[in-house]
């Protein structure tokens, strides 16, 4: 088995993101791999299905500005260069697949809350990333505190 050279880490910017990044940094060090940190924002139009008769552009831009600051703060805490941070807009699984393909990544790492029942049937980002990835996927089990 070849070692990983390029790893994409998808984070949701929640406090639990630290657990995912800690595991990713450990794996990257073990493989001397390049680490990309990514956060994907779903367009507000996706969330509301176009049902709101108003321009959400300014709100979307504010969300992106806040997310970028949080992403860079996380990167700084883990000594990840800000040039390796990617803030994308779209569907999370699809954007992570695309980013991994563009950077020829061999591994995508995401967090998983291990939901069951209805939440599992409806799917999750981790499940979406797993199904459709052209590389290995590691779902880090989030430990609720």
Q: Tell me the C-alpha distance between 109 and 125, whole Å.
A: 11
Domain contains 41: yes
Number of domain units in the chain: 1
- The per-residue b/e assignment along 1-17, b for 16 or more CB within 10 angstroms, e otherwise, is eeebebbbbbbeeeebb
Domain contains 13: yes
Q: What is the pLDDT of residues 94-127, one digit of tens each?
A: 999 999 999 999 999 999 876 554 444 444 778 8
The domain in which residue 24 lies consists of 6-82+91-141
Q: What is the pLDDT of residues 39-94, one digit of tens each?
A: 999 887 655 555 556 667 788 889 999 999 999 999 999 999 999 999 999 999 99
Give the β-pairing of 136-141 and 107-112: parallel
- pTM given for the model: 0.85
Q: What backbone phi and psi angles, to 5 degrees, belong to 114?
A: 65, 35
Alpha-carbon distance values, 143 to 110, 111, 116 (Å): 13, 10, 15
Domain contains 118: yes
CATH code, domain with 28: 3.40.50.620
Domain contains 1: no
């Amino acid at each position: 088995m070849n070692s990983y050279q390029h790893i994409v880490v998808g984070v949701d910017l929640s406090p639990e993101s630290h657990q995912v990044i800690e595991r990713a940094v450990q794996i990257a060090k073990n493989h001397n791999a390049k680490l990309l940190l990514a956060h994907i924002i779903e367009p507000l139009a996706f969330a509301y299905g176009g049902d709101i008769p108003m321009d959400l552009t300014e709100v979307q831009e504010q969300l992106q500005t806040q997310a970028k600051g949080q992403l860079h703060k996380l990167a700084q805490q883990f000594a990840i260069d800000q040039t390796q941070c990617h803030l994308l807009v779209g569907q999370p699984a699809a954007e992570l697949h695309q980013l991994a393909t563009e950077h020829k990544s061999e591994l995508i790492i995401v967090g998983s809350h291990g939901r069951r029942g209805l939440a599992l049937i409806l799917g999750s980002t981790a499940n979406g990333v797993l199904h459709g990835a052209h590389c290995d996927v590691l779902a880090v089990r989030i430990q609720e505190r």
